[in-house]
């Protein structure tokens, strides 16, 4: 099939001309999720032209430097919504030059569809593999593109000719509807298809089609360290004990695995775990997941994006027709849906920045003030999973930072939400544990031995000074480790 039907050929234009459809102050809903499937030509054209400023850019999640980095550095973004992981963008956010709103990923399409708080998408800019009279065939991610297209005044398509047309049929797009007319999502297995394989869009809404051959900048994953291998083995052993206790099927429940190198390394540990016939229900599908799929250890997955390093990306696209049977690309409204995460009973695995002795988790901020990336989907998954795991090395910056602290400097996941904390030191199972029991477990099982005496001292001091002994804190010292780190570069 042609990538563009005859009736829409007239909308084909240069990125420069399409960029003229964007004007200052607009809110743009742009495709992209975990560094793939984002527009690449429009950002460059907008930066080159410079006519459109003060833009609000809303995406599903993280996009490449050729979008976020380029636009941020050019100073044309005023506000950035929902998630980012770009160095230049992060710098400008933390300088206070770009306003950033860090959201649960499941909220983004839901709030856009419901016009929550008056959000209005002036234009959707969506990378696609093809377009039809019925709608759009997205590229390597779904993100919140379905909501953006549905609610936008106009749609600009970046039609990427490097994406094989075999991707047609990999997507599954389902319109939940808006209250009071929202409907149940009829998914009961990660591989259930319940919708259509395109994003519905009336042809008259398509304002421009820009043809590109610009590939996704493939993410790079660090080689697993010995420490991350140990963490992976702890998780496998813990899951085996859950199966042995009869609390989890032998092929577990659908896995969710977070973004980045640690998550990638943890997933690698499943390769020689003995687990078989696994499924995934996750927001991103990275290198190690594809390897597990090739090995037959994972039978199939729902994901919001396929995000591979260069070699595996080529392998994936070369074998797209086969993968189409095993992978479903869904909008983050479904991949991160509390309804589905709870129903399917996921095992979620995410990476914290730090955890405190009572099990509160910080996923976003350094020393309370500086945002790193964002909460992403970790809140959607953690709150609703059957079993949630946070895995991290026990120390950072060559031991200068403890990942177990008296009180986290920013809370993204509360004590009510967290269950299993894993470091290379061991596993703390916080389920059905009181705050003081949690403190003991986290210190003795997860904290680095260098920091245990200091943590024990804090617990002793807090018990002496606190009026209430349910969650004893010494407020004069609770954040002192972060203060010391800011002053000296070390928590020690």
Q: Within 260-319, which residues bind its own copies (CB under 8 A)?
A: none
Task: Report if residue 460 touches its own copies, rule: CB under 8 A.
Answer: no
Q: What DSSP character marks residue 445? A: I
* Residue among 104, 58, 101, 97 at smallest CA distance from 74: 97
Burial of 211 (0-12, 13-18, 19+ CB in 10 A): middle
Residue 370 near its own copies by CB under 8 A? yes
**Which one of residues 53, 73, 79, 229 is an interface residue with its own copies (CB under 8 A)?**
79
Listing DSSP states for 135-179 in one string gives: EEEE-SB-TTHHHHHHH-SEEEEEEETTS-GGGTTSEEB-----T
Residue (291 or 412) nearer to its own copies, CB? 412
DSSP, residue by residue, 214-275: --------PPPPHHHHHHHHHHHHHHHHHHHTTSS-TT-S-EEE-SSHHHHHHHHTTTTS--
The answer to whether residue 127 forms part of the interface with its own copies (CB under 8 A) is no
Using CB under 8 A as the binding rule, whether residue 366 contacts its own copies is answered as yes
Q: Which is nearer to its own copies, 185 or 355 (CB)?
A: 185
Among 7, 17, 162, 182, binds its own copies (CB under 8 A): 182
Contact flag: residue 225 with its own copies (CB under 8 A): no
Q: Under the criterion CB under 8 A, does residue 479 sit at the interface with its own copies?
A: yes
Question: Is the CB of 277 or the CB of 450 nearer to its own copies?
Answer: 277
Residues 178 and 150: beta-carbon distance below 8 Å: no
Residue 483 interacts with its own copies (CB under 8 A)? yes
Out of 414, 426, 444, 452, name the contact with its own copies by CB under 8 A: 414
176 binding its own copies? (CB under 8 A) = yes
Give the range of 33-41, 158-166, 209-217, 239-247 binding its own copies by CB under 8 A: 239-247
DSSP bridge partners of 209: 12, 157
Q: How far is the CB of 169 from its own copies (least distance, A)?
A: 25
The rounded distance, in Å, linking the Cα atoms of 197 and 175 is: 12
Query: CA-CA distance, 273 to 336, in Å (whole number)?
Result: 27
Distance of CA 249 to the CA centre of its chain: 26
The correct pick among 214, 271, 299, 371 for binding its own copies (CB under 8 A) is 371
Of 142-150, 270-278, 448-456, 477-485: span binding its own copies (CB under 8 A):
477-485
Per DSSP, helices labelled H in 276-404 are: 287-294, 310-318, 320-323, 332-335, 338-344, 378-384
Counting contacts by CB under 8 A, is residue 475 touching its own copies? yes
For the bound state, the minimum distance from the C-beta of residue 262 to its own copies, rounded and expressed in Å, comes to 22
Nearer to its own copies (CB atom), residue 183 or residue 449: 183
Mark whether 354 is an active-site residue: no
102 binding its own copies? (CB under 8 A): yes
Of 214, 138, 162, 168, which is closest to residue 320 (Cα–Cα)? 168
Q: Is 194 in the site for its own copies (CB under 8 A)?
A: no
Q: Does 147 bind its own copies (CB under 8 A)?
A: no
Question: Coil, helix or strand for 24?
Answer: coil
Residue 127's closest CA among 118, 115, 140, 117? 140
Residues 325-344 that bind its own copies (CB under 8 A): 337-339, 342-344
- Minimum Å distance from CB 414 to its own copies? 6
449 lines the binding site for its own copies (CB under 8 A): no
Residue 240 touches its own copies, criterion: CB under 8 A: no
Least Cα distance to 425 among 268, 227, 242 occurs for 227
Closer residue to its own copies, CB minimum distance, 215 or 338: 338
Query: Considering only residues 423-442, where is the footprint of its own copies by CB under 8 A?
Result: 429, 431-434, 436-437
Selecting among 127, 242, 283, 424, the annotated active-site residue is 283
Smallest distance from its own copies to CB 63, Å: 19
Question: What residues have CB less than 8 Å from 290, skipping those under 6 apart?
Answer: 306, 308, 312, 315, 316
> Among residue numbers 38 through 67, which ones bind its own copies (CB under 8 A)?
none
> Which residues lie below 8 Å from residue 75, measured CB to CB, with a gap of 6+?
53, 97
Task: By CB under 8 A, tell whether 75 contacts its own copies.
Answer: no
Among 193, 411, 444, 490, binds its own copies (CB under 8 A): 411
Does the protein bind its own copies through residue 223 (CB under 8 A)? no
Handedness of CA 325, 161, 215, 40 (dihedral sign): negative
Number of residues that bind its own copies (CB under 8 A): 92
By annotation, the residues acting in catalysis are 283
């Amino acid at each position: 099939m042609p990538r563009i039907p005859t009736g829409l050929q007239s909308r084909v234009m240069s990125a420069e001309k399409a960029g003229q459809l964007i004007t200052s102050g607009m809110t743009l809903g742009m495709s992209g999720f975990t560094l793939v499937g984002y527009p690449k030509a429009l950002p460059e054209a907008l930066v080159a032209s410079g006519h459109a400023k003060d833009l609000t850019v809303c995406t599903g999640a993280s996009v490449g430097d050729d979008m976020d980095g380029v636009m941020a550095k050019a100073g044309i973004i005023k506000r950035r919504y929902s998630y980012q992981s770009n160095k230049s963008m992060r710098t400008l956010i933390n300088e206070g030059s770009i306003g950033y709103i860090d959201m649960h990923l499941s909220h983004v399409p839901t709030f856009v569809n419901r016009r929550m708080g008056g959000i209005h998408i002036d234009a959707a800019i969506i990378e696609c593999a093809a377009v039809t009279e019925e709608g759009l065939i997205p590229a390597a991610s779904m993100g919140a593109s379905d909501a953006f297209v549905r609610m936008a005044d106009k749609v600009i398509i970046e039609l990427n000719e490097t994406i094989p047309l075999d991707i047609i049929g990999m997507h599954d797009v389902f319109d939940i509807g808006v209250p009071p007319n929202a409907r149940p999502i009829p998914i009961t297995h990660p591989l259930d298809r319940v919708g259509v394989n395109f994003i519905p869009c009336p042809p008259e809404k398509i304002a421009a089609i820009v043809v590109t051959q610009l590939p996704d900048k493939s993410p790079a994953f660090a080689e697993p360290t010995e420490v991350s291998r140990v963490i992976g083995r702890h998780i496998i052993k813990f899951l085996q004990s859950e199966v042995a206790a009869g609390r989890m099927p032998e092929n577990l429940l659908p896995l969710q695995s977070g973004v980045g190198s640690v998550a990638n390394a943890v997933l690698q540990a499943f390769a020689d775990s003995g687990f078989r016939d696994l499924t995934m229900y996750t927001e991103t599908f990275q290198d190690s997941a594809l390897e597990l799929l090739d090995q037959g250890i994972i039978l199939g997955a729902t994901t919001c994006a396929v995000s591979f390093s260069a070699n595996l990306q080529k392998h994936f696209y070369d074998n797209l027709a086969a993968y189409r049977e095993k992978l479903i690309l869904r909008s983050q409204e479904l991949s991160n849906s509390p309804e589905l995460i709870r129903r399917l009973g996921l095992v979620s695995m995410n990476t914290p920045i730090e955890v405190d002795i009572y099990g509160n988790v910080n996923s976003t901020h350094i020393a309370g003030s500086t945002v790193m990336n964002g909460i992403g989907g970790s809140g959607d998954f953690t709150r609703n999973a059957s079993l949630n795991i946070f895995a991290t090395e026990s120390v950072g910056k060559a031991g200068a930072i403890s990942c177990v602290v008296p009180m986290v400097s920013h809370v993204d996941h509360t004590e009510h939400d967290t269950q299993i904390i894993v470091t290379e030191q061991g596993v703390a199972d916080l389920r059905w544990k009181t705050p003081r029991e949690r403190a003991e477990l986290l210190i003795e099982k997860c904290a680095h031995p260098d920091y245990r005496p200091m943590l024990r001292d804090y617990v002793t001091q807090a018990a002496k000074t606190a009026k209430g002994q349910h969650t004893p804190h010494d407020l004069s010292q609770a954040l002192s480790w972060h203060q010391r780190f800011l002053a000296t570069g070390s928590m020690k």
